[in-house]
């Protein structure tokens, strides 16, 4: 994982105001470039290209971009509201961080500020005839950029905030986070010992705040464990909820003066994030399915779609390399526990099995999905799939009204058990 400051910078760069500010500054700089390059323009060129027309063009851009920006912002807010009501509030952050939406809005705002600065500079006579030529050429480039942004924005509006597209976004970020974690199951360090002997030898360091672990600064932990006899046994992972009674880690060979530095390596926040917390993504997918199965929506198709996406996401667990990745030398004194496959299955399938227990079509799709996952080349996944199949069947057998539905489900469960 990256350093704390890089992670904060990455998080800030995904906020809408960051790109809008960047494009706005770029618009101001672009509008003033004509003052710098004006001396290099031949004297006869302004009369040949009709640079006087730039006043009207900038006026049109300023008025139209203000209207387009206002409309786009209202449309975006409506899409956020739709995703909150129809999908899940936890998925709204992905819409806020959508790069296509941010680029479109930033382009419109930047173009508006560019034209505004250009009009002000023209009214003061700063440009002159030669400066108008450069401003005219830059304005044509801005028009091309606006057209490109509008076309992409129109295409994005057709899916922004819709259930299927938002679910696909959650699937993509969850798959990315899970693949990243599988590539480094111990985040570059060593596996946490299962016998927990370190709890008797080490000293616990407790959290000083209440919240979720969002990021683990491994380089900072590496700096703390430079001494040959030092060890850090990490107790929490990104996504864990901690309080002052929860040990962040057990340390050996570190004095109490290092405790604040160690706490700073655990970045905490009020909410979970998708980047380094694949279990959060799986939980959000389960939320989408649960909301679709609620009486207010009664949308079994979305739940079945989520189950299919779940198979694609969890299949990457079976495709991970059989051998553990090499331990990085600077992280060799840090011990971290890996993800538990049973936790992944519980996060995803338990809510769906609970809320869809009375719906035979959801139960059939769920049993078939677990059957598919059980056939992947991974013993842990096979055990977890059989366990979830049993739990889902027990819930459904009590909720289904018809004996025929229970018999169909029993056949699917028996088929999975017969394989193992």
pLDDT at 48: 47
Q: pLDDT tens digits for 296-336?
A: 888 999 999 999 999 999 999 887 766 667 677 888 889 99
In Å, what is the CA distance from 109 to each residue of 17, 73, 113, 118, 412?
A: 11, 11, 6, 14, 56
pLDDT band at 47 (very low <50, low <70, confident <90, very high): very low
18 in Cβ contact with 109 (< 8 Å): no
Q: pLDDT tens digits for 55-67?
A: 788 888 889 998 9
Angle at 291 between CA 159 and CA 356, to 5 degrees: 125
Q: pLDDT tens digits for 359-417?
A: 999 999 999 999 999 888 888 899 999 999 999 999 999 998 888 888 988 888 887 77
Helix 379-399, helix 360-374: angle, nearest 10: 160
pLDDT band at 121 (very low <50, low <70, confident <90, very high): confident
Q: State the pTM of this model.
A: 0.87
Torsion over CA: 412, 416, 419, 420 (sign) = negative
Q: What percent of the chain has pLDDT over 70?
A: 91
pLDDT at 379: 87
């Amino acid at each position: 994982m990256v350093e704390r400051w890089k992670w904060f910078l990455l998080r800030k760069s995904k906020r809408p105001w960051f790109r809008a500010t960047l494009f706005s500054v770029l618009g101001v700089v672009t509008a003033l470039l004509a003052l710098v390059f004006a001396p290099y323009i031949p004297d006869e060129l302004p009369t040949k290209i009709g640079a006087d027309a730039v006043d009207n063009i900038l006026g049109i851009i300023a008025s139209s971009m203000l209207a387009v920006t206002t409309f786009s912002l209202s449309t975006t807010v409506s899409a956020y509201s739709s995703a909150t009501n129809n999908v899940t509030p936890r998925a709204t952050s992905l819409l806020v961080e959508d790069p296509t939406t941010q680029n479109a809005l930033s382009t419109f705002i930047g173009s508006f500020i560019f034209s505004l600065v250009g009009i002000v500079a023209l009214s003061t006579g700063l440009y002159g005839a030669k400066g108008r030529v450069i401003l005219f050429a830059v304005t044509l480039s801005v028009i091309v950029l606006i057209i490109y942004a509008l076309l992409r924005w129109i295409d994005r509006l057709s899916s922004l905030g819709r259930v299927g597209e938002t679910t696909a976004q959650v699937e993509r970020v969850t798959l990315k986070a899970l693949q990243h974690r599988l590539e480094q199951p111990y985040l570059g360090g060593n596996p946490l010992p299962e016998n927990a002997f370190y709890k008797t030898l080490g000293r616990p360091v407790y959290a000083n705040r209440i919240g979720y672990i969002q990021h683990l600064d491994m380089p900072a932990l590496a700096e703390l464990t430079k001494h040959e006899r030092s060890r850090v046994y990490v107790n929490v992972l990104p996504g864990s909820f901690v309080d002052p009674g929860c040990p962040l880690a057990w340390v050996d060979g570190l004095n109490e003066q290092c405790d604040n530095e160690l706490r700073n390596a655990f970045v905490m926040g009020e909410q979970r994030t998708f980047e380094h917390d694949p279990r959060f993504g799986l939980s959000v997918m389960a939320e989408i399915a649960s909301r679709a199965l609620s009486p207010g929506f009664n949308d079994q198709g979305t739940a079945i779609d989520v189950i299919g996406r779940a198979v694609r996401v969890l299949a990457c667990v079976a495709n991970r390399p059989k051998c553990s990745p090499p331990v990085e030398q600077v992280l060799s004194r840090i011990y971290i526990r890996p993800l538990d496959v049973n936790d992944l299955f519980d996060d995803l399938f338990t809510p769906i099995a609970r809320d869809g227990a009375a719906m035979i079509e959801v139960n059939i799709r769920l049993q078939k999905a677990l059957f598919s996952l059980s056939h992947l080349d991974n013993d842990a996944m096979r055990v977890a799939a059989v366990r979830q199949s049993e739990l889902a069947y027990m819930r459904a057998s009590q909720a289904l009204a018809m004996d025929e539905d229970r018999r169909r489900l029993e056949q699917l469960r028996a088929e999975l058990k017969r394989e193992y």
